[in-house]
């Protein structure tokens, strides 16, 4: 990992910085979530904005500087050579777009009278809550996220947003209200998420009924949950991979659209509506 970081700095690759200013002691979970939620949001941005036929860039977090009351971390995308992200200009434009979009989406909840976007998802709200928790729980704190371009040794801020404790508490409260509204609707659709099997069943129950199969979607929950088919086409595609394909289904990943059924705010089942792609998982 250190070699990746040093090589990227030597090549003057663009990156995302996250600066956390907290004057007092900080709870460890809040501290970690401030950084991992940013990485999760970036991964979601990549899934939506990168064509499905090409390899997605990966991002790695590095802590660059630690001072009393302040910590600076870098989110460094590890870009493969691919259309749209093949050069330095493409890199910084993608990073700049992400920071602007993420800041705008998060900023919607900084108002006491927020109008919840129709396309908001529980996974996104989870990231928002974790992003601001450290700031909301520590008076006098602030968080800043920026897209940084390195040019001739100089660091140039291309886009940035910042929140203080007061704003973070408003975001936290409005996010909680948004989650309650979504949960009352009884489910939401998550698009292009990675699903893996933890238990299979060759039976074919009626459409919309539980299959006896269980799957895990880590971007939504770390629990293995029952699988329900909401589409005949989705069922046919997945059943083929279970019963006909030569490769082990447990070594495959399914990029799917799912309706997340919830109870008391927690996911309890996944209803698969569409299968976009089946991929081989790395050993």
Phi then psi for residue 108, to 5 deg, are: -55, -30
Q: What is the distance between the alpha carbons of residues 197 and 187, in angstroms, rounded to a whole number?
A: 21
Low-confidence ranges of the chain (pLDDT < 50): 52-55, 80-87, 208
Same domain, 109 and 196: no
pLDDT of residue 184: 59
Q: Indicate if 150 and 206 belong to the same structural domain.
A: no
Task: Say whether both 47 and 149 belong to one domain.
Answer: yes
DSSP 3-state of 118: coil
The pLDDT of residue 214 = 93
CA dihedral for 70, 63, 10, 79, sign (positive or negative) = negative
Angle at 20 between CA 170 and CA 1, to 5 degrees: 130
Q: What is the CATH number of the domain that holds 220?
A: 2.40.50
- pLDDT attached to residue 86: 42
Tell me the residue range of the domain where 115 lies: 2-184
Burial class of residue 75 (count of CB atoms within 10 Å of its CB; 0-12, 13-18, 19+): buried
Convert the pLDDT of each residue in 171-183 to its tens digit.
999 998 887 776 6
169 with 195, same domain: the answer is no
**224-236 residues labelled b (16+ CB within 10 A) or e (exposed):** ebbbbbbbeebbe
pTM of this prediction?
A: 0.60
Burial label for 248, CB within 10 Å (0-12, 13-18, 19+), is: exposed
45-63 confidence digits (pLDDT tens): 877 766 544 445 555 656 6
Angle between helices 88-107 and 28-49 (to 10 degrees): 120
The pLDDT, as a whole number, for residue 273 is 83
pLDDT at 58: 58
Nearest-angstrom CA–CA distance, 116 and 84:
31
């Amino acid at each position: 990992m250190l070699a990746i970081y040093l090589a990227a700095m030597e090549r003057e690759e663009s990156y995302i910085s996250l600066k956390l200013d907290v004057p007092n002691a900080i709870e460890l979970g809040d501290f970690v979530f401030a950084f991992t939620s940013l990485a999760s949001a970036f991964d979601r941005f990549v899934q939506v904005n990168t064509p499905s036929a090409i390899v997605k860039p990966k991002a790695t977090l590095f802590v660059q500087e630690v001072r009393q009351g302040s910590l600076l971390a870098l989110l460094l995308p590890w870009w493969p050579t691919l259309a749209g992200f093949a050069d330095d200009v493409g890199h910084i434009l993608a990073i700049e777009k992400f920071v602007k979009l993420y800041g705008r989406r998060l900023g919607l909840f900084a108002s006491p009278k927020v109008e919840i976007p129709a396309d908001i998802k529980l996974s996104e709200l989870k990231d928002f809550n974790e992003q601001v928790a450290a700031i909301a729980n520590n008076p006098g704190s602030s968080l800043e996220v920026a897209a940084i371009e390195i040019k001739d040794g100089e660091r140039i801020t291309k886009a940035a947003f910042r929140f203080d404790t007061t704003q973070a508490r408003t975001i936290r409260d409005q996010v909680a209200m948004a989650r309650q509204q979504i949960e009352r609707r009884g489910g939401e659709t998550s698009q292009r998420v990675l699903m893996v099997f933890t238990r299979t069943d060759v039976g074919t129950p009626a459409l919309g009924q539980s299959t006896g199969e269980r799957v895990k979607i880590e971007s939504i929950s770390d629990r293995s949950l029952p699988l329900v088919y909401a589409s005949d086409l989705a069922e046919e595609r997945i059943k083929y991979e279970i019963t006909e394909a030569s490769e082990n289904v447990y070594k495959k990943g399914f990029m799917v659209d799912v309706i997340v059924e919830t109870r008391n705010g927690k996911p309890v089942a996944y209803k698969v509506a569409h299968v976009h792609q089946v991929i081989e998982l790395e050993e």
